[in-house]
Each structure stands twice: as C-alpha cells, then as structure tokens.
Structure 1
C-alpha cells in the first residue's frame, strides 16, 4: 500500500489532494486540526466505507467526498459525525478495521480523544467490541503522539512524573466506565489483560456504580483474570485502601462462584470483612439471598461475622429472617445460639422482623422450636411484640398463626398502652382494605382484649364513627339495590324452573299433566330445593323493601336477615340444578356421576365463600373458631393477602412457567 497524498488544510480544491499512509513516518509530521463546535452529518458512502475492512477503498471514498464537497481531507475527517456523535474513527474502531483506524489515528491524532454523545472514545468502542489489535493501535499511537508533542514543547524533555500517554486508558464515559470496564463487561479478557499491562493504575478506577475491574471480573466469574489482578496488586502499598467501591466478594457471592470466592479470600483474608455502601459484609449478602453453602463457607472462614451489624443495625440472621430463609437461620444459630442478644437498632429479634415482613414459614419455625420460645412475647424499644408488628403491617396469616399459639400473650401493651387489637383499630382508615379487615378479624376471633387507654378509646370512637359513616343513607342504597336485584333474579329463575320441570309432563289419561319423573327421589330433591330457593328469594325481596324506609336500624336488621337467606337461596338453587340434571341423565351412569361430583365440588366452594359473609368469623367461641379456620385461610388466599413466603413461591412458579 503506497499512495502519495498530502493533508494540507490550506488546499483550496480537490485537485490539490493526494494521500499517503505509512505508519512508520515521523509522528510529528502529521497535521493537527482543532476540534470544531459544529459538525456536518455523515456522508452515507463514507460511513459504509469506514465499516469495511479495506483501507484503499476508504481512501478512495474519502478523496471522492473531498472533491464532491470541495473541502480538505482534514475538514472532512473532523466534521463527519453520525447522529450519536460517532466520528469515522469510532465507526472503524467498532468494526475492528485496524488499517483504517491506523490511518485516521495516525494522521488525525486529536480524534483519538474525541467523544460521542455517550462519552465514548474510539478506545471505549474498540474495547467494548473486543478488537485487540485496534485497541493496541489506538493506545500506541496516542502514546507516541503525546510523547512527541511533549518532547517538542519542552525542548526535547518529557515530563515523566505523569504518564500522559496512558491518560487515554483512564478516560471515563458518561457511565463512568473506562476502556477496561467496557472490555470486562463484554467478556473480552484478552483486551483487559493488555490494558492493565499498559497501565496498572486503571485497576483502581470505579465507574458510576462503584464497580472496579476486580469487581467486574469477579461478577463475570473470570477466575484466572481475578488471580492475575490479585497477583499484580500483592505487595503494593495501600492496596486494600485503594480497592474501594463495591466488594468483589459480594460479586462472587451474587454469582455463586465458589472458585472466585476462594481465590479472593485466599489472596486477601480481610476481604471477608469488606462491606458495601450499606455496611453489609459478604455474610450479610449470602444470608439475605439464602445461599446456605456460601453462608457456611464464610462462617468457617470467620465465625465472628455472624454478629456483625450493617449500617441499619441488622445482623445477617435478621436479613435471613426477613427473607424467610429458615435453613440459613438454623446455620447462623449454631454459631450464636442465644438469639435474644441478636437485636437490631430497634431492639427487635428475629421473630419481630419475620412477623413484620410477613415471613410465615419463619414465624412457624420459631414457634415450633422450643429453644426460641423466649422470643415469642419479647418487646422491642417501642414495646411492640411480634403480634403488634404483624398487626400494624397487616399480615392476617401471621396474626392468625400467632393467635392460635397459646403462648402468645394477647394482653401485652406497647409503650403507647395499646394491645394488638387497639393498634389495629387505631391504624385502620375509614374504608379499610379487606386485608386489614381480615387482620382485625383474626384478633377478634382469638379474643384479643382492648387496653382502654386514651389512644385505644380514641380508636374505638374512630371505629364507631367509621361504621356509622359507612352505613349512611347514601351508601346503603347501592347495597340494598344489589341484593334486591340478585334475589329477584333467583326468584324468577326458580319460579320458571318450577313449571319447566325435568322430564316434562304426561300427556295421556289418567295422569295427564302429572310430572313424568314424579316417583324419582332426585326429582323430589329438585322440587324441595327449588321451592326453598324461590321462597327464600321472595322473603329477601320483602325484607329489603323494608330497608328502603331509610331507618338505619331497619337497614342493619334487613342485612342481617337477607345475607344468610341469600346464601340459602343460592345453595338451594345450585342443588336443584344438580338434582334436575342428574334425574334426566340417570340412565347413563358415568355422566350422572360426573354431574353429581362437579355439583358437589362447586357447591362446597360456594358454601366456603358465602359462610364468612353470612356468619361473622370473628367469633371467639372455640367450636366456631375451629369451624371457620379453613374458610378464613381461604379468604386470605382468594383476596391475595400474600405473605413474603407466598410471593417467593409464586415468583418461582412464574419463572418455571
């Protein structure tokens, strides 16, 4: 390749242009053009030429564009940018076109430090794409150019206290990444090896996320590269202080890479104490993620980590309890069995934080472990027991579990003089969600008392005013009309069914007009159920007509009567349907049995859903409480009052699907 050309800015026309590219000619002979404030949009032909690995074709297109636009080559090179601010050097570097990169960088060195709209230099682009030779050319040409320039400016002497040629490797883009970060984040270890060989100082640079090269290598699982970095930094003064940012141990734990984890701790045992921005050690992270093997390994390296606090005063066992990792809690308790001493900054033990976060499995484990019995009624700094916290955070499943345990003292009050029931009523708003209603119901069913302190009395008055406001004249009309509509529809359907009976009527004497299925037992059941359903609906309609008079007492009485009757009416209508269909298909046994089974299943679901509406499940009578145990849990499920454990389970099922 030998083509003779000049790069003279003063050339006035295309006829003056000729170009020669010899990488070994003196660097100081090249022409330097200052950066311009305004740029022309890139010529499409020139863009495609920069993407091809053909330097001769690029030169031809460059000369052609220069003649067409009647501009000098230097003007074309500097002014041509893409919509994202990429120069021709950026484009050639992204495609790994070494000769084209060398041509542009050699004759126009200032482009090497030119940034695009994301703050990337051509070196960032080449490192991200993993073009090793392109990276080498850019680094070497920049270094030679800077050394030559400094030499000419300082009378032949170069200032060696600052490595000006390596500054290109330390330039950050808008994300705070240097070229080394880009290479590691995109899996180009060979490029990363070269960059740290040129300038080892880049190992200590952090991006905007606080990630160093060591963190990125550990995160990606590059064991050999991690060991190489560790070997290069051994013996260097203040290495631990300079390796700031996010802990590489945390990265190894996040990816569950045991090899990288062992290499890091073997090279620098003090890494096990290295905390993140929240002051959480590697053991904190492993415990919160539920990584039992990593927890056991870290405890084996330094068991005192089990009693290390983060910036929020949390021990690793607290994080494991919040996330519901029972096996991790068991492992941590082996290293510090007296869990009463493991309190966070609010004086809360592991049962407190589990109840507050909704970890049902963790709460159940603690209640079933005799050694942890002393935690059940402990109070935090605000006097709240685990039951108080579960109540105030509205976890009905946790509250129900705690109240079924006889060891839980329902009468305990917090520093404000309120029991758990007082807290529930005090924090309920005017129109509470069903989840909050279920929490209050669980406390009422367990017979939780009130303390009748000033705040508790205010809560009682607040609840009474809420109920009165809830049953005002404007709000009850919609409920009355809805029930009236349903009862009317049921009465209409059952009335029609009574005259369109299964099997029809006889058309001949002496039984003309008599039902053909009259002597069938299932037909008898159809008649009874249909009749009960129709008259129940009629009674509901008449009752609700009384409610239209506007008297609040009549409204409440009507609702107490109408809801159970509506449940009976819907149940009887369902039974009449099953019995009616069964009697007409009874000659085909498998079909009749299928109809019967489906009817019973759906009838059971109907009853389970309707019982809590008809009868208050907050009764503290032992027999009724046992009866309503499963309907209560069904309500928790269908109203999506999920605990932390449920959310983890549903998330795992979602990923499986």
Structure 2
C-alpha cells in the first residue's frame, strides 16, 4: 500500500512542480522525496507534507495527512518550520485553513492541540502568523486570527517583534486593521527594544493610512515617547512627512511631548534633517518652538548650519532678522557661523555673512574666531582616527574614498570658506571704523536730545509767572481780574482806543461833506481826541499801578502826582470842552475811579497802613 501511494504522490509532484512551481521546488528535494511523513529525505529535511504545503496542493496535503498521523503537522525541517509555516509564508489560504481545521479536529496533537500547531516557532522565532504578516497575505492572516488564539497575537519573535509590529513595518494597513480589534489592549502598549510604539513605527514608514488607523484605535499613543524621549511628532518632523506632521498637530499633543531627552523640539528635528516645509508649518502653528534651545544651548539655526541645510538657513535668516538669534552662542560659545565654518559649509558661510548681521569677529570659549576654526580644519587619516588626545571640537573630516580627488575638493572648500570669511571680516572692520568716526556726532546728538527733553520737563512742571491762570477751574482767565485797578485799566484803555478810532474815521469822511458840516465834524473829532488822550493817560497810570501796587515808593509817587492840580485839571478841561455840544458824563466815572484807586500812606510806627477811600467816605485798613 505504501509503495503504491508513493508512486502516485511522486507522479503528482513531478507533474505539478514542473508545470506550476518549477522554480519553487528544487530537484534535490523531489528526487529524494520519500512518502513516509517524518522521514528526512534531503539536507533541508523537508517531508512530502512540507513540499505539498509549499506547492499549495490541498488534495496532496489531505492525502498525506490521511495516510500519516496528526503529529505530522508538528514535523520540522532544518529551519524548524512546520508545514503550516510554509503554507502561511506562501499565502495558500486554503491549505492553511485545512491544516487548522485538521489540527482542531485532532484533539491530541502531541497533547498540545491546535494551540501548539499555531504557536510553533522557526529559527527566527516566527510563528505562522508572523510569516503570513511579513509576506503581506491578508486573507491568510485573517484565517489565523480567526483561530482565536490571543497569545498568538502577542507572541514575539527573536527580534522582539509582534505580528502587529511586523504588519506596521511592512506597511500592511489592512492587516493592522484586522489585528488591532482582536488584540488585548495591554498588548498594544508593547514597545520595541528602543522604546518605540506601533505609532512610532508607522510614522517611521511614513504610512499615513496606518497611522490614522492606530490613532483612531488608541489616541493616547500620540503623547507616548521612546527611550530617547521623542514623541511621534518628533519622528514625523525628522522624516519630513508634511501630511503626518499636519495630522498630529491637529490632534493637539500635550505640552510635555514636544521636548525629548536632549530638550530638542520637533522644530530642531526638522531643521537638522533639512525639511523646510515642515519647519514652515511649525513657524505657522507653534512659533515659540523655533526659539527654544536644546541641551547644548543651540537654536534651530545652529542645527541647520551645522548639518549643511542651505535652504533652511536662508529661510531662518530671512524670517528672523534678529541679531540675538543669528549671533546666539551655544554652550561652547559657538555661533551658527562657527558651526558652519567647522564643517566647511562654504555656501552657508557665504549666506550668513552677506546680510551683514553676523558677527564674524565673535570668539568662542576656546578663544577662536570663525576664521580660526576654518583654518584649523584638517583631514583625519584612517591611521589617526583612533588616536587619543584629539580635540573633539576641532574641525575634522575623514578622507574621501575617491582618494586625492576627494582631498583636493575638501581643500578647495576650505580655501573658499577662508576667503569668504576674510572678505567679511575686512568689510566689517571698515564698517566699524566708519561707526567710530561718527561716534562723537552720535553722542552729541544724544546729549542735545536729552537737554531738550530736560528743558521741556522743566517747562511743563515749573511754575512761571504769567498774565493768565495756568491751572484750576479758571484756567485761561486773567490773573488780576478781581482788582479794581485792573478793571479801571480795561475801561480806560477801551475808551481811548474807541474814541481815537472814531475821531480818525470822522476826519477821513469829513472831506466828503460841505463846508458847514465839515466844521461840525471837525469839532466833534477834536472832542473825541481830547477824550482819547485823557483815557490813554488814565489807562497808563492804572495799568502801572496794577502790576506794581505792592511797591510803597510807587504808591507815594502816584498819590502825590494825582493830588497835583495839573493832573486833575486835565479831566476838568476835557469835561468843559464837551459840555457845550456833546453831553458825555463819562468823566464823572473817571474821577470816581481815580478816587477809588487813590491810596494815602500813613506811617504808624513800624506798621504801614493803607487807607482806601470809597465814594461814601468809609475807610478800610489793610495791614501790610
């Protein structure tokens, strides 16, 4: 019976292998094929069942299992692979399903049952599910997951990868979507050896679809960090995947997730890797990130200049034209220009110095200028790479594999960098000389400005005498409004101006009248002129008395002058002239005003009393 079955299987294998899978099955295995399951027939130790599983011939598998024993499912080849491993790796879903059903029906498969068949591991520690996932066979994975073995989903291979991690690595989003709902929630928090979650891995593969599936199922992974303290947003920024970064920012990750163990932000990662579009997005959404420093006290310009990303450097330079950012020093005292010169990034050095805002004379903590660092640059020969005592901050480069040609190219970059820095230093020195020449003018201008400011302050805050009120409810009103002498001055001055202007108008218009009217007008004008003269004299005296009333000498002089007959006679003469044709009693008012403002000094020992007379003859004493 065995010999007859051997002949049938051998004929089928020859036909199927050479017709359908000639490449997959090697002739050594076929020629050494032995029908007896479990019998090692080649150096690969594949049995007929292994080969049938690889071919995907369900009838052959069924025939072999029917002839053999249930334990044949656990038979391993030289790589510790069972027939289920091979069928799963090849994606023969009908064979996989048949093997699982066969194992399920066989209640005792070496006392392990179906779980033992599903959990068998090969040399790499992979289960059949690992093999199906790695090769992207979604339908096969679905069959294995439906076997309802929860431990199978969390089993790790020798590399520490679960089937879910492996699915993310191969960008098999549909497989991820199948495994996630069937996994234990705690198993989803599993991390790789470097602390990465499945979300970190999805972002490393720039797989937006898988990333969205993971976040939808476990949104808390957005804020999880790896062993270096880097969040998924750090990974997205480093990869330059703008769509991933934008999606993560929309989820508003926590503030504690944007700094890694080196205090680097996602903006640092974008600048370090030269991803300009990602950096622009950070400037738009999280502008304060771009001004933060890492643990080396480096801003994003330091990082971009050190790594030679010209477009990023230009963008930062144009976006942030601030000397504090452009000339900021790190923990070693190096500016971005120092770091660019240390790596001989001549294009970046040229770009930085062209704006004129970079300080080419800046000195780091070792006392080196940018030019000193460029001059120190030297190639490191392979024999000297491991020598002790080498300055870790000294600019160095490993010789190019192309030999002398590469060395000459580096030397040319060095010379170009030095020439750029020399020209920039000379230009800056000339500019500094011009500034020093104008220093005296600038200082004098500043002093003049301060003097003007001080004068303005004094004027605003110092009380100066004036004719009007400068403060209080009566601001703008005359200071002497309440004094009788000032009132008399206003009246007499107004009368003097009015009468003189009226007389002038009459004299001007009299020439247009006949002889009789002309003499009448001249007479009226003459009377007005006398009134104007008298009023002007009174206005002068009352105004003088108003501003100098506190002077005793002036009071005595005014009293003596006003008691003289000539003075009072002027008023009487003007009054007699107007009695004839014009009845004006204004001069009565003038006399009364003159009497009201008359002061009689009386000496009473050391006290001087001023007696003011009013119309009724009453006296008022005021002690001075």
- Contact 1:105/1:138 (CA < 8 Å) preserved in 2? no
Q: 2:550 maps to which residue?
A: none
Q: 2:366 maps to which residue?
A: 416
Residue 184 (structure 1) aligned with residue 140 (structure 2): no
For residues 360 and 401 of structure 1, the distance between their equivalents in structure 2, rounded to whole angstroms, comes to 8
- Contact 1:53/1:97 (CA < 8 Å) preserved in 2? no
- Contact 1:93/1:126 (CA < 8 Å) preserved in 2? yes
| CA separation of 1:220 and 1:125: change in aligned 2, threshold 3 A | same
- From 281, 306, 323, give the equivalent of 2:231: 281
Q: Residues 508-561 of structure 1, C-alpha deviation per residue, up to 9 Å, x if partnerless?
A: xxxxxxxxxxxxxxxxxxxxxxxxxxxxxxxxxxxxxxxxxxxxxxxxxxxxxx
Offset at residue 440 of structure 1 (A) = 4.2
Q: 2:305 maps to which residue?
A: 355
Larger Rg: 2
- Contact 1:396/1:435 (CA < 8 Å) preserved in 2? no
- From 122, 125, 134, give the equivalent of 2:86: 125
For residues 45 and 619 of structure 1, the distance between their equivalents in structure 2, rounded to whole angstroms, comes to 90
Question: 1:618-633 to 2 correspondence within 5 Å?
Answer: none
Offset at residue 330 of structure 1 (A) = 1.9
- From 436, 445, 459, give the equivalent of 2:420: 445
Offset at residue 94 of structure 1 (A) = 0.9
SS of the counterpart of 2:254?
helix
TM-score (norm 2): 0.55
Offset at residue 220 of structure 1 (A) = 5.2
For residues 131 and 227 of structure 2, the distance between their equivalents in structure 1, rounded to whole angstroms, comes to 23
Residue 343 (structure 1) aligned with residue 293 (structure 2): yes
For residues 103 and 19 of structure 2, the distance between their equivalents in structure 1, rounded to whole angstroms, comes to 22
Structure 2: gaps spanning 5 or more residues: 21-29, 381-403, 431-624
CA RMSD, aligned part only? Answer: 4.0
| CA separation of 1:293 and 1:306: change in aligned 2, threshold 3 A | farther
Residue 48 (structure 1) aligned with residue 14 (structure 2): yes
SS of the counterpart of 1:177?
coil
For residues 148 and 206 of structure 1, the distance between their equivalents in structure 2, rounded to whole angstroms, comes to 23
- Contact 2:313/2:348 (CA < 8 Å) preserved in 1? yes
- From 382, 391, 397, give the equivalent of 2:332: 382
For residues 307 and 220 of structure 1, the distance between their equivalents in structure 2, rounded to whole angstroms, comes to 27
Question: 1:475-494 to 2 correspondence within 5 Å?
Answer: none
Q: 1:167 maps to which residue?
A: 116
| CA separation of 1:344 and 1:168: change in aligned 2, threshold 3 A | farther
Q: Residues 45-104 of structure 1, C-alpha deviation per residue, up to 9 Å, x if partnerless?
A: 7963684899xxxxxxxxx999xx9xx963x751212x5443322211011111222333
Query: Greater RCO between the two (CA within 8 Å, min separation 6)?
Result: 1
For residues 445 and 18 of structure 1, the distance between their equivalents in structure 2, rounded to whole angstroms, comes to 86
Residue 96 (structure 1) aligned with residue 56 (structure 2): yes
Question: 1:19-168 to 2 correspondence within 5 Å?
Answer: 48=14, 51=17, 74=36, 78-81=39-42, 83-106=43-66, 107-143=68-104, 145=106, 147=108, 149-150=110-111, 165-168=114-117
| CA separation of 1:339 and 1:371: change in aligned 2, threshold 3 A | farther
Question: 1:564-583 to 2 correspondence within 5 Å?
Answer: none
SS of the counterpart of 2:39?
helix
Residue 263 (structure 1) aligned with residue 213 (structure 2): yes
| CA separation of 1:438 and 1:143: change in aligned 2, threshold 3 A | same
For residues 92 and 220 of structure 1, the distance between their equivalents in structure 2, rounded to whole angstroms, comes to 27
For residues 92 and 372 of structure 1, the distance between their equivalents in structure 2, rounded to whole angstroms, comes to 73
Residue 435 (structure 1) aligned with residue 410 (structure 2): yes
Structure 1: gaps spanning 5 or more residues: 7-13, 22-42, 55-63, 151-162, 451-617, 623-657
Offset at residue 364 of structure 1 (A) = 0.6
Offset at residue 302 of structure 1 (A) = 2.6
| CA separation of 1:446 and 1:313: change in aligned 2, threshold 3 A | same
- Contact 1:113/1:168 (CA < 8 Å) preserved in 2? yes
Q: 2:443 maps to which residue?
A: none
Offset at residue 393 of structure 1 (A) = 1.6
- Contact 1:306/1:316 (CA < 8 Å) preserved in 2? no
Q: Residues 171-217 of structure 1, C-alpha deviation per residue, up to 9 Å, x if partnerless?
A: 33344432212212323212101111212322223345554333344
Question: 1:529-608 to 2 correspondence within 5 Å?
Answer: none
